[in-house]
Structure 1
Amino acid sequence: MSNLTPREIVSELDNFIIGQSDAKRMVAIAMRNRWRRQQLPPELRDEIAPKNIIMMGPTGVGKTEIARRLAKLAGCPFFKVEATKFTEVGYVGRDVESMVRDLMEIGINLVRKEEMDKVKVKAEKHAEDALLDLLLPSSKPKQAGMGFFNQGTPEELEEQPAADQSSTREKFRKMWREGKLDEREVEVEVTVQGGGVEIMSMPGMEDMGMQVNDMIGKMFPGKKKMRKVNIREAYEILIQQESDKLIDMDNVAELARERVEQGGILFLDEIDKIAGNQEGGGSANVSREGVQRDLLPVVEGCVVNTKYGMVKTDHILFISAGAFSYAKPSDLIPELQGRFPLRVELTSLDKDDFYRILTEPQNALTVQYKALLETEKLTIDFSREALEEVAFNAQKFNEETENIGARRLYTIMEKILSDLSFEAPDRSGDSVIIDKEYVQEKLQDVNEDRDLSRYIL
């Protein structure tokens, strides 16, 4: 990510998201500004706050997808949460600081996976040696956690000289690498989690319950037990155990905290639902405003206590989104508005956009369905006219019923291909062309009956 210019970031997002160039440019600049900030002297770097973003637009136009793809591209911790999940302290709902704790958990998993990839070669070597110790306990002093070869290791091995044992060990190593031992069974020691007592938490206090459970888990560590598994599965278990030995979790926590603080992205969806409006009742507006005031310190920068240490939120990038059909960004409290200085409106999708969504992205629906049915040896292909008909119907149903954006394509494609999906195992080797007439035939009933279309599509 550090090498990508804003233009290159937009180009990468174009591979998955159609249109919305203004939103892509804005998030690309926000990400590049993070890189620019890291190049500055420390005394100036700490003074530069992230430029948080509000994305406005109807559902299904790509707001969440832009944020998710951006985080994946950057390799930084990303967490999406609906603003409606939060309420004021004292009411049923989650504490706003819980989203920072969730982001920290994601950061830990991200860094831990990277560290495991770094030690993978060494862990595989150690796991292979441990596996040979399971197969040939006589060739090395038996260690805790090592089982025995259940399918009859020759007893003569116990009496072989060291040189012969070494030779036998290498023969077993070669057989293992050639896959000749995959189905043999060994006993391996594993840790059974959940030996302690589970504490049920009250609504709104889930985070405290998780921390208490974690503390109890440390007081009562998981029990060890022997499991009988085949060699291939034992090898995977041993790789995991050896990787855990090679990784310093304190270092992982430190790296994850730094990455969360400097590069984390929190996506606040449905933020318009907590904006006050003039039509709403007084108590409803008070509740919404209470959530906003709880969010304010987290967005403007505070310190949140997590089980991995204190996490500062000063430089976490907040991207919020909402349809803003009944409320406006100006309905948010002024302090919160000021913390989201960048605003961008995403446009509704039309027929041409739907056609491009079906054909251009790397993960287009047409590509997904082709691959799914190919597993049954059923080949399908779509004509251009068929996809144009799908796009036309998606726009029409969005206009006539409820506008759910690109998600309408999922319901239409599933309706069109449901019969083929059901019959696929019986049509192995067939090749089917989906043309315009085929699409019209499958959508005929919902096109003719408006009430039915509201329920089906």
Structure 2
Amino acid sequence: MLEQPEYLTPKQIVAELDKYIIGQHEAKRNVAIALRNRWRRMNAPGDMKREIVPNNILMIGATGVGKTEIARRLAKLADAPFVKVEASKFTEVGYVGRDVESMVRDLAEQAVNMVKMQKRAEVQEKAAEAVEEIILDALIPPVKSKRSQPEGTIGFQVSDSDVELNERTRERFREKLRNGELEDRKIEIEVENNTGGMSIIGGAIDEVSMMNLQEMIGNMMPKKSRKRKIAIAEARRILMEEESSKLIDMDEVKQIALQKAENVGIIFIDEIDKIASSSGKSGGPDVSREGVQRDLLPIVEGSAVNTKYGIINTDHILFIAAGAFHVSKPSDLIPELQGRFPIRVELQSLSQADFYQILKTPKNALTKQYQALLAAEDVELSFTDDALEAIAEVAFAINSEVENIGARRLHTVMSHLLNEFLFEVPDTIPPNSKLVVNREMVQQRLSSLVQNRDLSRYIL
């Protein structure tokens, strides 16, 4: 049975998204409803559970307005397998390039990794005990008394007092290990020899069959190990990986992961406008674009996709597509595909006030990122309120005059503003210094950026 995480209410989801994304309330509301509907479906009566399909979302908006960030934060809130793909990377079946089914295989891989991490956390304590014993054996090999040895054993016999001394020594070293006193001491351990994956050269073979064949041959090959002399800290890391893997039931992991991918998986298809045929055009690359759409259709509608972990049904995977649609329109997508994205959300272009809030409010605001970078050098960086307003003015002006790349423009402006500080610390600007960015400094440093009409070199 698939364990259900604590699901947030739509209002709670929007409140969490507000911590990172400014504005776009309509988009946040729709994704919050879509996420909550996953929980509602899993708690619906048995017969209806299979019938309820997710309302896939098409987000329309210029670059840098928050489409990708909304989807990324949503996946973290849902604790769900999440894959972001770019529609422009896919090619029609029969052409060289990635086929659309690879997005589902990527989702399966992501789900397996998620479940494996959860299971690893569950067995961590048991694995740590086993690792401790292995390290102790390398430091102080255990000895057995005469009574504990099989009859007829020939060789050096150990007395009970020697065994007792050995035990006391091991316990002292165990204490030192737990206190971290022996981390740099070198020991010799046996580790699995991870040789590179085997390459198979031959005729045409599909991706899944290739992976299965490589895994089968890999399992048939004998596992080799070799001795390495390394520090205890490094040995513990390597041994924890090995011991955790031994304690995890991979068949159970695969089963849970497939259920997780099928029921709560989210696939974000970016740049979907790039595979829409421009109005009034036919032939050439538009034929291939339409082919990708037709390949995409059964995946979004619901089909069985073969992965190396098993078959995944895509009926209840939530698909969120996004595109700027500067050249083409959503109506340029084939009608069948349009019908599979019933929720249309148009994201608004960012205003100057939005830029100000983006610099000030989110948990991961650019200003806070630069403060963290300089804090690593023991330098305190602060921004006055009018400095943030000035930065927002410059970013908005450049977007209006050159090309609107949304919030990404702030990266250009902030980099231009603060690169000199980043270069001077710690040589010219020593640790424990305090740097204050005010409106005058912003205007002085960014005046050339605003006045220069040939801004091509600043466009990201």
Q: Where on the TM-score scale, by shorter chain, does this alignment land: which range?
A: over 0.9
Cα RMSD of the aligned pairs, angstroms, is: 2.3
Counterparts of 1:361 and 1:278 in 2: how far apart (Å)? 39
Deviation for aligned residue 1:238: 1.8
Quote the residue 2:243 is aligned against: 242
Q: Which residue of 2 aligns with 1:19?
A: 23
Q: Which residue of 1 aligns with 2:131?
A: 127
- TM-score normalised per structure 1: 0.92
The structure-2 alpha-carbon separation of the partners of 1:164 and 1:242, relative to structure 1 and needing over 3 Å to count, comes to: same
Offset of residue 448 of structure 1 = 2.1
Query: Aligned partners of 1:370, 1:405: CA distance in 2, in Å?
Result: 22
Deviation at 1:382? Answer: 0.6
Residue in 2 that maps onto 1:5: 9
2:247, 2:23 → 1: CA distance?
46
Q: What amino acid maps onto 1:94 in structure 2?
A: R
Task: Count residues with an aligned counterpart.
Answer: 443
- 1:252-309: per-residue Cα shift (whole Å, max 9, x none)? 0000000000000000001111111224342222211111110011111111111111
Aligned to 1:319, what secondary structure does the other structure show? strand
Amino acid at match of 2:456: R
* Equivalent of residue 440 in structure 1, options 421, 440, 443: 443
Match of 2:95 among 80, 88, 91: 91
How much does 1:137 deviate?
A: 1.4
- Give the Cα separation in 2 of the matches to 1:412 and 1:158: 76
Deviation of 1:69 (Å): 0.4
Q: CA deviation at 1:227?
A: 1.4
Partner of 1:154: none
- The SS at the match of 2:312 is strand
Match of 2:347 in 1: 346
Q: Give me the whole-angstrom Cα distance separating, in 2, the residues matched to 1:205 and 1:456.
A: 44
Alignment of 1:33-432 (within 5 A): 33-139=37-143, 161-199=162-200, 209-220=210-221, 223-426=224-427, 427=429, 428-432=431-435
Question: Any idea what SS the aligned residue of 2:377 has?
Answer: coil
The aligned residue for residue 456 of structure 2 is: 454
Q: How much does 1:71 deviate?
A: 0.4
Q: Secondary structure at the match of 2:425?
A: helix
What SS is found at the alignment partner of 1:418? helix
| Counterpart Cα distance in 1 of 2:26 and 2:202 | 44
Q: 8 Å contact 1:196–1:220 — kept in the other structure?
A: no
The AA in structure 1 aligned to 2:249 is: D
Write the letter of the residue equivalent to 1:252: V
Identical amino acids, percent of aligned pairs: 53
> How far has the Cα of 1:359 moved from its partner?
0.6
What SS does the corresponding residue of 2:100 show, helix, strand or coil? coil
C-alpha displacement of 1:215: 3.8
**TM-score w.r.t. length of structure 2:** 0.92
Task: Indicate the SS of the match to 1:235.
Answer: helix
SS of 1:373 mapped into structure 2: helix
Q: Following TM superposition, by how much is the alpha carbon of 1:43 offset from its aligned partner in structure 2, in angstroms?
A: 1.4
Deviation at residue 197 of structure 1 after TM alignment: 2.9
After superposition, the Cα gap between the structure-2 partners of 1:207 and 1:389, relative to the gap in structure 1 and judged at 3 Å, is: farther
SS in 1 for 2:225: strand
Could you tell me which residue of structure 1 aligns to residue 154 of structure 2?
Answer: none
State the 1:239 CA deviation.
Answer: 1.7
Q: 1:195 to 1:391 in 2, by over 3 A?
A: closer
Paired residues of 1:95 and 1:204 also in contact (CA < 8 A): no
Distance in 1 (CA, whole Å) between partners of 2:291 and 2:116 is 37
Equivalent residues of 2:144, 2:163 under 8 A apart: no
Give the 3 Å change call, closer, same or farther, for CA 196–328 of structure 1 in structure 2: closer
Greater displacement, 293-302 / 89-98: 89-98
Once the 2 structures are TM-superposed, how far is the Cα of residue 454 of structure 1 from its aligned partner?
A: 2.3
Q: 1:442 to 1:211 in 2, by over 3 A?
A: farther
Structure 2: how far apart are the matches of 1:65 and 1:247?
A: 33
In the alignment, structure 1 segments of 5+ residues that lack a partner are: 142-156
When structure 1 is superposed on structure 2, of 175-184 and 31-40 the one drifting more is 175-184
Contact 1:93–1:204, Cα closer than 8 Å, also in 2 = no
Alignment partner of 1:361: what SS? coil
- Structure 1 contact 194–217 (Cα < 8 Å) conserved: no
Query: In 2, are the aligned partners of 1:61 and 1:347 still within 8 Å (CA)?
Result: yes
Within 2, Cα distance between the matches of 1:440 and 1:38?
55
Equivalent position SS for 1:79: strand
Mapped to 1, the partners of 2:426 and 2:346 lie a distance apart of: 45
What is the aligned partner in structure 1 of residue 151 from structure 2?
none
Distance in structure 1 (CA, Å) of the matches to 2:64 and 2:353: 15
